[in-house]
Amino acid sequence: MSIDSKELENIYSRLDTVKDPEIGVSIVKLKMIDSIEKDSDFLNIKIKLTVPGCPLSATIEKDIKAALGGAGYENVNVAFGYMTRKELEDVKSTLSENRRDLPPPIAKYTKKNIKNIIAVYSAKGGVGKSSVVVLLALTASRLGYKTGILDCDVSGPSVRTLFNSDWHASINNENKLNPLVDSNIKIISIDMLTNAEALVWRGPLVSSAIKQMYSDTDWGELDVLFLDLPPGTSDGPITVFQTIPVDRILLVTTPQNLSQVIGKKTLIMAEALKVPIVGIIENMSYLVCDHCGEKIYLPDSKTRILNGIPILGRLPFNKAVSTDIKSLDFDSLHSLESVIKYSLIESDGGVDLRRP
C-alpha cells in the first residue's frame, strides 16, 4: 500500500524526534531510515544501524514505536540492517555538521610545558582504561619520559587506588596543587582534593573539576600527560576534548564483540570532536599459560582494524592488574613500549622524543 507524500512527511517528522541513543543525533539526520512501507495492518520501517548487531537497537525500536504511537500508528514493525562503509562516512560528515548538538566549543587551555597529551578513552565502561593508563605511565616513566596522569573520572576516580595511595594534594607557594609522585609519575585525581564519594557530581561541576585539575596542578615539565577518561560520551569526555589540548586518543577495547561495537561509535564521536585517534590497545586479549608460557587468545581476538585505525598493542589478562599493578613484569608489557614511542613521536610533529 503506498503512502502519500503528506503522510510520509508526517512519519519522518515523528521519526526526527528519535535520536541514536549513543550519538545523540536524530536517526533521520543520520540517514538511518532505509525504507518505510505500509500494508493493511502494519507500518514497516527498516533501519540501518551504524554498526552490525548494535546493542542499542532495542532502545531505537522502543523510541520509534513511542514516537509513532502518538501519531496513531499502533502497529509498527521495525527491522534492522546496517550501513555500508560509504554510508558510515556520510554519518561522520553529518556529525561534524551537527556539532551544534554538542556543547559549544570553548577556548582550550594551553599546553604549557607538556609535550604530549594523550587521552585514553572508550565509550564502553570497564574495558580497563584506568589500568591501561597506569601501565602506559609506568612504561613511559621506565623509558625515561617525564610522565603525568590526570584522572578525569570525577565520578569514579581509580588511579590513586591503583597506586595504593591515600595522598591528599596540598597547595604550594605558587598556589598550585602538589600532585602525588609515584614511580616518578605525577598524578592528580579528584579524590586527592575532596571526599569525592560524598558528592553527587552534576555536569558543570564535572567540567570545572577537570579543568581545574588540569590547569592548577604543578606539572612542571612533562614529556607526556596521560588522561584517564570516564566512559561514555557525557560531560566528562566532552569537556576534556573541548578544553584540554589533547594531541591524540588511544582507544581501549577488549576482544568481546560489544566493546568492538561501541569502539566504532567512539571513532565516530572522536571524529566529530576533531581529535585524532592514534590507535587501539586491546586489553585482556590473551592469557599466558603458567606452565609453558604459551599465549592463549580468546576466540574472538583476531587482528581487526577498526575504520582503518591500527591495533597498536595487546595486553594479557593478568590478575596482578587488579592486585598489584606496579609489580607487573614488564616483559609482558613489551607492546606498550612501542605504543608509547609511536604515540609520542607521531604527536610531536615529527620530533623524535626517544631516549638514546
Ligand X SMILES: Nc1ncnc2c1ncn2[C@@H]1O[C@H](COP(=O)(O)OP(=O)(O)OP(=O)(O)O)[C@@H](O)[C@H]1O
SS3 state at 77: strand
Q: Compute how many residues bind ligand X; rule: CB under 6 A.
A: 20
Nearer to Mg ion, 130 or 285 (CB): 130
Q: Residue 98's binding partner, choosing from Mg ion, ligand X, none, with beta-carbon cut-off 5 to 8 A by kind? A: none
Cell, residue 50: 551504524
Question: Any contact of residue 265 with ligand X (CB under 6 A)?
Answer: no
Question: Any contact of residue 321 with ligand X (CB under 6 A)?
Answer: yes
Which of 189, 259, 283, 343 binds ligand X (CB under 6 A)? It is 283
Nearer to Mg ion, 19 or 160 (CB): 160
**Nearest 10 degrees: CA dihedral of 323, 325, 326, 331?**
120
Question: Any contact of residue 126 with ligand X (CB under 6 A)?
Answer: yes
Residues 6+ apart with CB under 8 A from 36: 3, 8, 11, 43, 44, 45, 46
Where do runs of H (alpha helix) occur along the chain?
Answer: 5-15, 57-69, 85-97, 129-142, 159-162, 203-216, 235-243, 257-272, 320-323, 334-347
Nearer to ligand X, 66 or 320 (CB): 320
Sign of CA dihedral 343, 348, 352, 356: negative
Instruction: Draw the binding track, 215-244, toward ligand X (x: CB under 6 A; -: no contact).
Output: ---------------xx-------------
Question: Any contact of residue 128 with ligand X (CB under 6 A)?
Answer: yes
Q: What are the phi and psi torsion angles at 322 (to 5°)?
A: -90, -20
Question: Any contact of residue 153 with ligand X (CB under 6 A)?
Answer: yes
Residue 32 Cα distances to 82, 261, 314, angstroms: 9, 17, 34
Q: Shortest Cβ distance from residue 234 to Mg ion (Å)?
A: 14
Tracing cell 579524590 back to the chain, one arrives at: 191
Tracing cell 582504561 back to the chain, one arrives at: 129
Q: Which stretch binds ligand X (CB under 6 A): 14-22, 82-90, 126-134, 274-282?
A: 126-134
Residues 6+ apart with CB under 8 A from 104: none
Q: Which stretch binds Mg ion (CB under 5 A): 52-60, 124-132, 268-276, 284-292?
A: 124-132
Which of 130, 243, 259, 343 binds ligand X (CB under 6 A)? It is 130
Which of 130, 207, 259, 285 binds Mg ion (CB under 5 A)? It is 130
Burial class for 299, CB neighbours closer than 10 Å (0-12, 13-18, 19+):
exposed
Cβ neighbours of 64 (radius 10 Å)? 22
Question: Any contact of residue 282 with ligand X (CB under 6 A)?
Answer: no
Cell, residue 203: 555536569
Question: Any contact of residue 139 with ligand X (CB under 6 A)?
Answer: no
Nearest residue to Mg ion, by Cβ distance, number only: 130
Q: Which stretch binds ligand X (CB under 6 A): 2-10, 17-25, 102-110, 124-132?
A: 124-132
Tracing cell 546496517 back to the chain, one arrives at: 82
Q: Compute how many residues bind Mg ion; rule: CB under 5 A.
A: 2
Which of 129, 146, 186, 248 binds ligand X (CB under 6 A)? It is 129
Q: Shortest Cβ distance from residue 300 to ligand X (Å)?
A: 16
Chain residues that interact with Mg ion, rule: CB under 5 A: 129-130
Chain residues that interact with ligand X, rule: CB under 6 A: 125-131, 153, 156, 158, 230-231, 283-284, 315, 317-319, 321-322
